[in-house]
Amino acid sequence: MQFKKMIVPILAVVAVTGTGATTAAAAKADPNAAVVRQSTQDAKDVQAYWTPERMRSAVPMPVPAASASALASAPAQTYKLPAMSAPGFGKAVSAEFGTNSVQDITQSGVWTAHGQMPASTVGKLYFTTPQGNSECTASVIASNNHSMIWTAGHCASDGAGHWYSNFQFVPDYHDGVWPYGSWVWKSASTPTAYLNGRNFDYDVAAISLWPSNGRKVADVVGWQGYKFNWGYNWFAYEFGYPYDTHPARTGINGQQLRYCAAGTWQAGGQQAIHCDQGHGASGGPWLDDLQFARGWGYLVGNVSYHPYDWSDEERSPHFGDAAVNVYNAQTNV
């Protein structure tokens, strides 16, 4: 099967210097503009950095809490760019994992079908913050470069103008096993509204990866499709590597891929779903129209935060113009 090159419009992309400072004042004026950070790290150095000990000691990134009053007053966003989408693809489709859910699964369960899609396209994202090593969840997304992963903005930046470093993606991680190896970062992008303002309406990021042993990540594990500037209401499967849940349950250790399946709804300028995944699930994909017989669906959201610690309600940014720009900033890198 041939991969088709995806051509999409770019509204605004702003480069950054090696220190992470924006080089165009326009980035501050347009919250949808994508800010790009090119890695100055040698890929071999990043791979060498992530010893088994450092991976084991990485702290799961919290799913942040946000002000419920501020969220309730947040207006729906308006968009200038047309809707865009692309299908998923994989060399080996998924075997049946039970049956596709027709009822909500809001208490996350363990996904056990490994070595095939969709699990092969979801993995742990390791990175370094000023406070130490951390981890989130990310997924491989359709792209021209066959090398893009998608995650949350708070897994790439502190929201105060600073980028994290040492990004390493480990697809289909489970119980200490990483069957496909790892890939490290080449470039990253996030909206200026998140990078400089920690605005969770824009909590998205895309990262392009160097080939590993001459292989691009999507050519090895497949990719998920996406839908940008579409709607808010889906029946989505959410995947992640949580270390805890909201409300709290025991036996959740971050070593297993977990999932929920539920309907989503519009919540101001964001999307909401009932799913209890907590720390470590940040950046995990929300997949619409996930069909087990083919192993892929359409990325329509990512785990961002819980508005209430006591509730399983979870939020994602709506994938609008900012998502389009973040995507376009990486698809040809």
Tell me the pLDDT tens digit for each residue of 322-332.
Answer: 999 999 999 99
| Higher-scoring residue by pLDDT: 223, 98 | 223
pTM: predicted TM-score of the whole model, two decimal places = 0.90
pLDDT more than 90, % of the chain: 77
Is 74 a residue whose pLDDT tops 80? no
Task: Convert the pLDDT of each residue in 225-273 to its tens digit.
Answer: 999 999 999 999 999 999 999 999 999 999 999 999 999 999 999 999 9
Q: According to the model, what pLDDT value does residue 228 have? A: 97
Q: According to the model, what pLDDT value does residue 310 have? A: 84
Q: Rounded mean pLDDT of the chain?
A: 88
pLDDT, mean of residues 202-209: 98
Is 300 a residue whose pLDDT tops 60? yes
Q: According to the model, what pLDDT value does residue 14 have? A: 55
| Higher-scoring residue by pLDDT: 167, 19 | 167
What are the structure tokens assigned to 331, written together? 């698809």
Band of the pLDDT at 153, cuts 50, 70, 90?
Answer: very high
Instruction: Classify each residue of 147-179 as buried b or exposed e, where b means 16 or more C-beta atoms within 10 Å of its C-beta.
Output: bbbbbbbbbbbbbebebbbbbbbbbbbbeeeee
270 contacts 307 by C-beta, under 8 angstroms: no
Is 7 a residue whose pLDDT tops 50? no
Is 17 a residue whose pLDDT tops 50? no
1 burial (CB, 10 Å; 0-12 / 13-18 / 19+) is exposed
Residues 6+ apart with CB under 8 A from 47: 168, 182, 184
